[in-house]
Amino acid sequence: MNQNIKNKIDEAGLVTLDLKIFEVQGERMCIDLADWLDNEFIIKEASFKEKIEKYNWSKMQDAFVAVFCSKDVIIPPWSYLLIQTKLITIARQVFFSDIHTMNLLLFQKKLDELNLKEYKNKRVFLKVCSGSPVPLGGLSLCVNKLIPCVKSLFYGEPCSSIPLIKN
């Protein structure tokens, strides 16, 4: 009884796309401008510049930095720019957003490098492990990018998946 064992998954043209590959490695840090407000509602140029000079910027070395304000106040654009000028040679990249938006933008930047030819007319499984750092919006970006070219798209792995579309 000499039979060849066939791998039906390989023969079915199934491709697993592990979304973890779109994670950008590096430390994430935040600057909440709410901590820099005078009287908890305004930024004054003189005191803001003084705080900038006293701040320990070195702790943000090679980090992705999100600059935002958690309070519902009007923040002058120059305050963001002054912080960016301090971080330009220290941080890997500065974002004027909350940390979740920053992570989504970093994810999208990596996703934009994806070669869609590998997925053309294939059955694609979006693999997302529990505890994965994939932002929820990243799933939407993947679906938008893949739907026009794949034969079918699934969430999960071949052994346990949910069909999303079939073209």
Confidence band (pLDDT; 50, 70, 90) for 122? Answer: very high
Burial 48-84 (b: 16+ CB within 10 A, else e): beeeeeeeebeebeebbbbbbbeeeeebeeebbebbe
Q: For residue range 26-68, what is the model confidence (pLDDT) as tens digits? A: 999 999 999 999 988 899 999 999 999 999 999 999 999 999 9
The distance of Cα 73 from the centroid of its chain, to the nearest Å, equals 26
Between 151 and 9, the higher pLDDT residue: 151
Q: Half-sphere exposure (CA, 13 Å, Cβ side) for 98?
A: 5
pLDDT of residue 10: 61
Cα separations (Å) of 31 from 53, 61, 111, 139?
Answer: 15, 14, 26, 27
Between 13 and 134, the higher pLDDT residue: 134
In the numeric block, the tokens 């590096």 are attached to 26
Of the chain, the end-to-end C-alpha distance in Å amounts to 40
User: Phi/psi of residue 141, each to 5°?
Assistant: -60, -40
Between 159 and 84, the higher pLDDT residue: 84
Mean pLDDT of the 65-81 span? 96
Q: What's the CA gap between 20 and 128, in Å, rounded?
A: 7
